[in-house]
A = this chain, B = another copy of it.
């Protein structure tokens, strides 16, 4: 069962929720940036260079969290975010890398 912060267990992962979370280019950018870091890297929400106001940011990170894409934990004044790569790769093998790769290609084709 999802914990109090809305992190789903692996057996609750839902493809529709994952694709919905990744259908927003800015939310997808968070995942692409995390995927470029070594596994387990935690980042403050402010480092992703996104155009979100704080309230909007809260919403978008909740969408990512509730889809199972990221894990978040509070530290002092901030919140650290990490990619749930091993969980994602266990439930939908290859999907994360495929979408990260498609995102890079999409940006390259447009530039």
Residues in A lying within 8 Å of B, measured CB to CB? 11, 13-17, 19-20, 22-25, 28, 91-92, 94-95, 98-99, 101-103, 105-106, 109
A25 to B106: give the CA distance in the assembly, Å.
24
Q: Give chain A's interface secondary structure class.
A: helix
A92-B105, A103-B15 as given contacts; A23 in contact with B20, CB under 8 Å: yes
A92-B106, A98-B94, A98-B98 as given contacts; A25 in contact with B20, CB under 8 Å: no
The number of times this chain is found in the oligomer is 2
* Chain B residues, CB < 8 A from A25: 15-16
Interface contact B20-A109, CB-CB below 8 Å: no
- Considering the complex, give the chain B residue whose CB is closest to the CB of A104: B15
